[in-house]
């Protein structure tokens, strides 16, 4: 079983923001694989289903971003999963809008949601799919930037990156992270 977690902030106020790109990918995965996201458990909205012949839990933590680890830890404990069963999808301001970067492990890179997950699960050894949301303008506060919505000119790239992130998640499940890294990193 794999747990695929998309990071974001709960509530309509944050829907469609740069910081909620992880939620957007989970929504698309749920639609593509006919997985209902109706269950509320472990401080998250969950859906159970199959992707590429593997049982999966799709999850959107309903804590705020910087407390995402509480939800992830609860899911991992309940489903008896290890860190190598976890895939986390989240926003990255160091990548151009629409770019993906997949890694098998690593630091939080300044992302508060990832810092909290690493702290709660006690490991950096889990797969992550980073979705580029573009660099913060020099005169803008970081929090204001990641909580802003994409401009019209970015929307086609964001739709495409969400679709590719779904494809990457499926490839991670079927063939492993290395195959997904080879196919999607650098595109």
Q: Does domain 2-184 have CATH number 3.40.50.1470?
A: yes
Edge-first strand order for the sheet with 44-51 is 39-41, 44-51, 54-61, 2-6, 86-92, 127-132, 100-103
Handedness of CA 154, 104, 5, 66 (dihedral sign): negative
Give residues with Cβ within 8 angstroms of 61, minimum separation 6: 5, 7, 8, 10, 43, 44, 67, 68, 70, 71, 72
In this predicted structure, what is the pLDDT of residue 134?
A: 92
pLDDT score for 20: 96
Question: Which portions of the chain are predicted below pLDDT 70?
Answer: none
The alpha carbon of residue 94 and the mean position of all alpha carbons in its chain are separated, in whole angstroms, by 16
Of 88, 68, 95, give the one whose Cα is nearest residue 161.
Answer: 95
* Predicted local distance difference test score (pLDDT) of residue 186: 74
Annotated catalytic residue, options 19, 42, 111, 120: 19
- What does the pLDDT look like over 132-160, one tens digit per residue? 999 988 999 988 999 999 989 998 999 99
Q: What is the pLDDT of residue 110?
A: 87
Distances (CA, A) of 176 to 52, 130, 168: 12, 16, 10
pLDDT tens profile 3-15: 999 999 999 999 9
Q: For the whole model, what pTM was predicted? A: 0.96
Residue 129: closest CA among 94, 166, 158, 81:
166
Residue 111 designated active-site:
no
CA distance 117 to 135: 23
Domain ranges of the chain: 2-184
Residue 142: Cβ within 10 Å count:
10
């Amino acid at each position: 079983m794999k747990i695929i977690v998309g990071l974001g902030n709960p509530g309509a106020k944050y829907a469609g923001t740069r910081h909620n790109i992880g939620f957007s990918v989970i929504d698309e995965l749920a639609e593509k694989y006919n997985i209902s996201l109706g269950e509320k458990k472990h401080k998250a909205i969950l859906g159970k289903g199959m992707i590429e012949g593997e049982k999966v839990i799709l999850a959107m933590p309903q804590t705020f971003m910087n407390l995402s680890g509480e939800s992830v830890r609860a899911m991992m404990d309940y489903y008896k999963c290890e860190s190598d069963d976890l895939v986390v999808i989240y926003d990255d301001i160091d990548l151009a809008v629409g770019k993906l970067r997949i890694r098998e492990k690593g630091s939080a890179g300044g992302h508060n949601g990832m810092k909290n997950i690493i702290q709660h699960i006690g490991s950096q050894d889990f797969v992550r799919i980073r979705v580029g949301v573009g660099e913060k303008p020099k005169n803008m506060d970081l929090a204001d930037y990641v909580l802003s919505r994409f401009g019209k000119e970015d929307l086609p790239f964001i739709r495409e990156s969400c679709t590719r992130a779904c494809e990457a998640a499926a490839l991670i499940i079927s063939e492993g992270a290395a195959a997904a890294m080879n196919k999607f990193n650098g595109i």
